Amino acid sequence: MKSFSKRLLTLVTALGFAFGTLGGIEAAHAAEPKKKVKVVMSKKAVKPTSRIVKKKSGIKHASFRPAVRDDGPSFESDGITPRLASSAVAVIDQTTGNVLFEKNANHIVPIASITKLMTAMVALDVQPGLSEMLTISEADFDTIKGTHSRLGVGTQLTREEMLRLALMSSENRAASALSRHYPGGRPAFIAAMNRKAHDLGLSDTRFSDATGLTPENVSSARDLVRMVDAAHQYPLIREFSTSEEYHVDVRGRPQTFRNTNALVRNDGWNIGLSKTGYISEAGKCLVMQAWFDNKPMIIVLLDSWGKVTRIADAQRIKRWIESVATSRASVRS
């Protein structure tokens, strides 16, 4: 009996030990998966997130260019020279001829639709009939850049309306039609453009067409100051280039054309002449005659990038002139 009791006690003890060990192992196994699951989940969550962030960051930086902020005067460390994003700049006092600021002003570059100021001068120099009807034809289509126009084939407008649309909204077909309806046709018109450039002393300036769509139309900021000054002597160019908008019937349908320079609609500006331009080779361009503190100034901004850079540069120049330039000597950078 004693022997049986001992064997039974030994068996119970062994079983208790076994069950206790298994319980511990089972508890350990129950804890281990939790640790492994946490680690695996952490890895799976981090890697895709990291890849996504890098991919977005790469796309963003590939196409991102910092915006030009128009939030106040911006000066170099010397406190005198304005910081401008345009590649070539000239600012002069139109009355005295004093150069207030120049940046790469002698660089010869494409000028895009700034060309149309010369187009308008040449068209007006022959004292044409402004009420004469001109017709848009296929010869006025843009075969260089393939730009669109609301002036379809057969559109008839007066020479005055063509002139206004060419200057105000930079209508390429209108400018082309003006050159075709010139005495001697387009070749004579282009010759007259280059002849006038020579007569005005524009030694850096060459023209190959009346629209500015070709990069062969070139000039320098310094030359364009003179060209703006010459164009400013024409009352119609002053009026048409600064009109905010114009309503005209195009083949029986009313159309509204607006000025390509938003500053003409800004009450803080007093602009006497304006012209914008753009082709990829020229960048964004802007020339103006404007009044600051009752003084006429000419501003030339060439090869700006982005939609707002040339406008922001013009705003900076305005603030600079009003606060610094009028009391300083000429500045060149």
Report, as residue numbers or ranges, the catalytic residues: 113, 116, 170
214 φ, ψ to 5°? -90, 135
Rounded Cα gap, residues 263 and 310, in angstroms = 11
Strands 109-110 and 253-258: unpaired
**Token pair of 53 as six digits:** 């962030």
* CA distances for 127 relative to 39, 157, 159, 207, 247, angstroms: 86, 18, 11, 21, 25
Rounded Cα gap, residues 233 and 246, in angstroms = 22
Is 301 in contact with 310 (CB distance < 8 Å)?
yes
Mark out the alpha helices in 143-291 (DSSP H runs).
Answer: 159-168, 172-180, 185-199, 221-231, 235-242
Summary count for the chain: helices (H), strands (E): 8, 12
The DSSP H or E segment spanning 218 is strand 218-219
Is 157 in contact with 133 (CB distance < 8 Å)?
yes
